[in-house]
Amino acid sequence: MRKIKAFAVLCFAIFVVAFNCSVYFGFGTVKAESPTTKTAIITGQNPDYEKFLQDYNNGDIEKYGEVFPSPAKRNFKITQTKQSKIASLPESYDPRPLGKMTSVKDQGALDTCWDFAAVAAAETRVKKDEEEFDFSEEHIRFYLSNANPSSIYKRKPNEAGWVDAAANYMVNGSGVVLESECPYVNAPNAPAPNLNITPTKIFTDTEEIPVTDLNAIKTAVTNYGAVAVSAQWPNNLNSYFNTSNFAFYFTDPNSEGHAITIVGWDDNFAASKFKTPYPSANGAWLCKNSWGEAQMDGGYFWASYKTKFSNDCGIAFTKYIDYDENRKIVSYDSSIIGGALAFPSNPIYAGNVFNISAQDSSSMSVQEVTFYSNCVQNYEIYIGSAVTSLGSTKYANGTTHLGWQTVKLNKQYVASNKYAVVIKFTNPMGLEDWGAAFEYGDTSLVVKNTSLGQGFLSYKMSTRSADWTDLKTFFIQNGQSKYGNFMIKSVLLPKINGDEDNGDEEITNPETEDPDETGDNEDDDFTDDAKKQKQKDIMFVGLVIAGIFVPIGVLYLIAAIATRRPKT
């Protein structure tokens, strides 16, 4: 009997120890999380796009004009407030007498204004730096079409398109090429040109500007020369165009879209200079068209500030470099944005896993990362051999702008044949549409063929593969298998000092803060997540031990009571 009591006491003691360990290491430090915080949601999509896609598949696209609507919407809440506060803008600005403009071109009878507007903005950006280039629209319209066997875009070469698709083409390293190497042919059935042409410039960064923010557009024009936009456009232009003042005013939201380039403004352009009904206020944009110099005012016209635009944003090209054969862009994405993924109450870790050749891994290293953001949010960049092997080093961190951004890393990463680039996005402003941008795709117009093992997402940084979800699997489970990868690219450059063994060689970068100087490496998210996981594991083991020994102890006590002999 004494032995039974002793064993029961031992079981109870083991239970107490195990339970207290679980409380100390687990319950006391890990808060319970709602299941919804671990479920990613798709944000930032354009609800009207599916209707357009149905019309496109049915051949009913004339009503959309020369610019397709975007499948995604941007969140301009923060950017609009921030940029509107910029002061010292003049009441008017006209770059033409200052020699700041390139030649006016003619798209002819083709629906390629989106192409011409993007190229005009790119040419004007380079012109600001006293360089003048004539870039090829022909190469873009064919490269982003079904005439290019390797293209994901299935539009016809003479069809409408997206300004942001042309911008992506310039960021992806596909172009731009010179007009002299691929001249424009104004013919709907023109044969495909040679598309294997070395680019002359690569545009590394773009900025997307809300078309309703006057100061934001003025600031972008001042800084970058031009903003490509899409305006609502009437079939009967003469009814809305004052030929004496070259003034245009139109507000029908159900009309066609026509892409133009804003290059200047005049706050005092009188409302009476437009055709009736007059706009409600003075002010107009100076716009460059793509109908040749014989049309309008040498190819330019004035559009009222009250003119209706068909897309929510304009695009400016902010940074560019000369083409460098030793700079290699490694990416999956080539499509326009389809939306973003986010967790309701957590940051999102979004990563692409890349494979490179043995030759590249021996001679090059990751020194830049290019990614797209659909809003203003905070980011941190991590790189490792896999998404579960990232370590705690922040290779860059900062705040995004809307559009493409290329970030120079604080340290080079010397990769083996396979490596992962993961970006942590956080939403400190509490925006509705935020997160990690992914590529658009469908079954007819933009066909993406993604594979398992290319993209991954998680609500935390973790060394456990179970905490990471394959992006393609996620989309399949949510009935969206047509979508593509995260819009994240890595950029390889020749290794610094040829040091193959040093994966953390320092790179001087004044634009980002070196995390080693912030003092936050010891308590970063990776360390916190690892500690939390260890605490949960200890808690689990403790509860298992308690769950085993408590029933045994109880059974022994019951047996002891049942077999107890009464005293005589």
Question: DSSP string spanning 477-496?
Answer: HTT-TT---BSEEEEEEEPG
What is the C-alpha separation between 28 and 374, in angstroms, rounded? 38
116: Cβ contacts below 8 Å, ≥ 6 apart: 105, 107, 137, 259, 290
Whole-Å CA distances, 70 to 109, 325, 335:
23, 33, 12
Mean pLDDT of the chain: 85
Beta carbons within 8 Å of 364's beta carbon, 6+ residues apart = 328, 356, 492, 493, 494, 495
Q: What SS3 string covers 355-417?
A: ECCHHHHHHEEEEEEEEEECCCCEEEEEEECCCCCCCCCCCEEEECCCEEEEEEEEEEECCCC
Nearest one of 313, 311, 234 to 275, comparing CA atoms? 234
d(CA 253, CA 306): 12
**Residue 387 amino acid letter:** V
Q: Which residues pair with 341 in a beta bridge?
A: 42, 436
CA 285/CA 122 separation, integer angstroms: 19
CB atoms within 10 A of CB 421: 28
Residues in CB range of 251: below 8 A, 6 or more apart = 232, 306, 307, 308
Give the long-range contacts of residues 469-472, CB within 8 A, separation 24 or more: 469/40, 471/438
Helices (H), 232-368: 358-363
Element (H, E) at 542: helix 525-562
Structure confidence at residue 432 (pLDDT): 81
CA–CA gap between residue 318 and residue 327 (Å, rounded)? 19
Rounded to a whole number of angstroms, the distance between the first and last alpha carbons of the chain is 16
Pick from 458, 487, 483: nearest CA to 386: 458
In degrees and rounded to multiples of 5, residue 344 shows phi and psi of -55, -40
Query: Of the CATH numbers 3.40.1190.20, 2.60.40.10, 3.90.230.10, 3.90.70.10, which one belongs to the domain with range 65-69+79-318?
Result: 3.90.70.10
DSSP code string of 107-164: -TTSS-HHHHHHHHHHHHHHHHTT----B-HHHHHHHTSTTSTT-SB-S-TTS-B-HH
pLDDT in tens, 275-320: 999 999 999 999 999 999 999 999 999 999 999 998 889 999 999 9
DSSP 430-489: --SS-SEEEE---SSSB-----TTSEEEESS--S-GGG-EEHHHHHHHTT-TT---BSEE
Sign of CA dihedral 77, 82, 87, 93: negative
The amino acid at residue 42 is I
Return the domain boundaries, the chain: 2-32+542-562, 65-69+79-318, 324-521
The encoded tokens of residue 48 equal 């009207």
The token pair at 442 is 């469908």
Which tokens is 131 given? 């360089």
Residue range 324-521 in CATH 2.30.30: no
Q: Alpha-carbon distance 335 to 441, whole Å?
A: 7
Question: Which of these, 221, 215, 217, 246, lies nearest to 100 by C-alpha position?
Answer: 221
Phi and psi, residue 67, nearest 5°: -130, 120
List Cβ neighbours of 390 (8 Å cut-off, separation of 6 or more): 382, 383, 384, 420, 422, 461, 526
Per DSSP, 23 falls in state I
DSSP code at position 302: E
Task: Quote the pLDDT of residue 73.
Answer: 83
The C-alpha atoms of residue 309 and residue 203 are separated, in whole angstroms, by 25
Residue whose C-alpha is closest to residue 229's, from 164, 136, 156, 168: 164
Taking the C-alpha atoms of residue 528 and residue 461, their distance in angstroms, rounded to an integer, is 9
Instruction: Give 14: exposed, middle or buried? Use CB within 10 Å, 0-12, 13-18, 19+.
Output: middle
**How big, in percent rounded to 5, are the helix, strand and coil portions of the chain?**
30, 25, 45
List per-block mean pLDDT (blocks of 10 residues) for the chain, which spans 568 residues.
Answer: 51 48 39 53 89 93 91 75 66 96 97 98 97 97 96 96 96 95 96 97 96 94 97 95 98 93 98 97 98 98 96 94 97 92 94 96 96 95 97 95 97 95 92 91 90 96 95 94 95 81 44 37 38 50 54 55 54
Identity of the residue numbered 58 = N
Between strands 247-248 and 300-304, the pairing is parallel
What one-letter code names the amino acid at 17? V
Task: Give the per-residue pLDDT at 17.
Answer: 46
> What one-letter code names the amino acid at 498?
G
Residues in the chain: 568
Strands (E), 169-280: 201-210, 227-233, 241-242, 247-248, 256-266
pLDDT at 14: 52
